[in-house]
Amino acid sequence: MTQGGGEPTDLAAGGPALHIPVLLSEVMDALNLTSGGLYLDGTFGAGGYTRAMLERANIRVLALDRDPRALAAAGPLQSQFGDRLILRHSRFSQFQHTALEAGLAHTGEPAFAGITLDIGVSSMQIDEAARGFSFRFEGPLDMRMESQGRSAADIVNQASAEELADIFFHYGEERAARRIAKAIVHDRITTPFTSTKQLAELIARLLPSKPHEIHPATRTFQALRIAVNAELEELVQALIAAEAALKPGGRLAIVSFHSLEDRIVKQFLAERSDRGRGSSRLLPGESAPPQATFEQVSRHPVIAGETELALNPRARSAKLRFATRTHAPARGTDVKLLSLARLPSHEPRRR
């Protein structure tokens, strides 16, 4: 993924990445683990955060992953921690339902002392050519985390040029979105797109790059992955669910890797903590604003230090934002946040 001046932000589309938990110590400090509490790791991956939580305190962790292959490799961790670790195949936006089914929560009652999410694709998914997440490897144009539903190839071969351009621009921040979309629509008439290499080579022909620059297909691959897995909507739904599921004093800690994710997390916490709202008196008939549901220690994200950056290049774009749940009632669905996660709607053209 890319951000700002074109630096790769988590290498999800291109370069090599070791599977090292990002900002691990900082996330553990942000969660402020309390003995006996129930915690959620909504993006289990290789289990780095989950292991650290279970080793640091006598707690239980509900660990979720929408990729069944990630959970299939969790046997040794399950054996080590027994019933303190509850593993489930689920999207993190559905964690409340999963917790109810597992008997860890009761309807309408907050059950969690802490929730953490590490947003983004894992290095295990990147390195498996058959998953189609990366243009580093020849593989099918797939990108589905759950291996079901609409694939990247389906989108590339079926979506209109307008929809493709919207995906590339809004989810990939690709300035050449329309040019890429038109070229795809032109080429797919004779040869449908089926492989990562095929798409990457098309974009490379359109957007030549210098050796020191990121691959020109990086932003497009990021955008397709986000669209295939509805990642931004998943994030919004998870944040709203976390507000309802956290106990007063519970901590929410989110690690993001590019500006789209961070913007959603930043706006959610800013609005829920009422940051920037003045203390002026209400006008006659004006309703009192809802109480703040979160309290932030700082409005600035936590970023990796030099030592971690030297060991783990993936950390250079990571941003940790965290906050503490107050006693105020949850506010529920947020239309403005959902608008950040969705593509713009287009009015039908008049003939």
User: Which residues have CB under 8 Å from 90's CB, separation 6+?
Assistant: 64, 65, 66, 97, 98
pLDDT category of residue 14 using cuts at 50, 70 and 90: very low
Task: Tell me which of 1.10.357.10, 3.90.1150.10, 1.10.150.170, 1.20.1560.10 is the CATH number of domain 127-228.
Answer: 1.10.150.170
Residue 97 sits at φ, ψ, to 5 deg, of: -65, -40
Give the mean pLDDT of the chain: 87
pLDDT on residue 146: 82
pLDDT category of residue 240 using cuts at 50, 70 and 90: very high
pLDDT on residue 169: 97
pLDDT category of residue 20 using cuts at 50, 70 and 90: confident
Q: What is the pLDDT of residues 316-343, one digit of tens each?
A: 999 999 999 999 999 998 888 899 899 9
Could you tell me the residue ranges of all domains in the chain? 2-123+231-276+288-340, 127-228
Model confidence, pTM: 0.86
pLDDT category of residue 145 using cuts at 50, 70 and 90: confident
pLDDT category of residue 285 using cuts at 50, 70 and 90: low
pLDDT on residue 346: 66
In words, the CATH class of domain 2-123+231-276+288-340 is: alpha beta
Q: What is the pLDDT of residues 22-74, one digit of tens each?
A: 999 999 999 999 999 999 999 998 899 999 999 999 999 999 999 888 898 89
Span 253-259, average pLDDT = 94
With beta carbons less than 8 A apart as the criterion, state whether 304 and 22 touch.
yes
